[in-house]
Amino acid sequence: MASLWLSSSLALPPLPSEPRKLSSETSMHGSFKPIVVSGSPPTFVSAPNRRIFAVGDLHGDLAQARSALRMAGVLSSDGQDMWTGGDSVLVQVGDILDRGEDEIAILSLLRSLGIQAEGNGGAVFQVNGNHETMNVEGDFRYVDPGAFEECLDFFEYLGDCEEEWDDTFAGWISLSERRKEARRRLQNPWGPWSLVRRFHPIAERILGTSTVAYGIERMNREVSQWMNGPPQNDDNDPALPFPAIRGYDSVVWNRLYSRDVDDMEDYRNHQIRSVLEETLQALGAKGMVVGHTPQMSGINW
């Protein structure tokens, strides 16, 4: 899974990259509260005095994705897929791909909501999860057959469009379900990896002090370079960013904070809490949102 360092009140730490203002809109209450993004790719976000919602692991299930967004109060209930969050911030913490058949539709919905949110002084951010990483690697074990078919429909749709990429991509959600009902195609022999590369997921997970020491911006930069592939006229593939995507304790596979606390010894629970507290202190953060692991008895606090 993944996460993004997002502050609702704290000042941003100094960074080598120049911060940019994402939104200069006035809020629904009339107060001027710009959202500032720093890092390349975007890694640190300052969203003062905003409501911040996080949603994880949507895994190609469009109906449940809409349900979660409506529950958060950021998606209209009239079927028009309108942003209703005002100047709120929505963070999707990865794992949109695999298991379900509406992966691109969910990505399109989030892009559409992001455009609408920015016009209202809000924002939508997406981060990279382990299933996005697996698709870029060519690991399609968990791709639903319907997702292969969605790829065929989507690329046919792209061939018919002459608009700018943002408008074209955001418009897919309004057509995808109708095309899905009508399609009768053979499976495509590969998954939606090129879409992941095009969409540029924002950030990798922040899990421990070793990750902070390695450098969050450095990790995001290396993952972005790897996902996008070599520059034109360069045959050398970027190095695999091992700390980010490989190993049981890498940032997209780690389940340290997601274990069922009722099944752990007190000393082990204390160790995990200590790691979390050290990590948050190193970041200057108040909390961390992590997806990836189903928690049937409720989330850990």
Question: What is the residue type of 87?
Answer: D
The pairing of strands 44-46 and 35-38 is antiparallel
Give me the residues paired with residue 6 across strands: 45
Question: What is the residue type of 99?
Answer: R
* 29 catalytic per annotation: no
Tokens representing residue 79 in the block = 């079927």
Kindly name the residue from 29, 59, 131, 270 that is annotated as catalytic: 131
Q: Collapsing DSSP states into helix, strand and coil, what is residue 21? A: strand
Q: What is the full DSSP assignment across 57-120? A: --TT-HHHHHHHHHHHT-B-SSSS--B--TT-EEEE-S--SSSSS-HHHHHHHHHHHHHHHHHT
Q: Collapsing DSSP states into helix, strand and coil, what is residue 194? A: helix
End-to-end, the C-alpha distance of the chain in Å comes to 18
- The catalytic site residues sit at 131
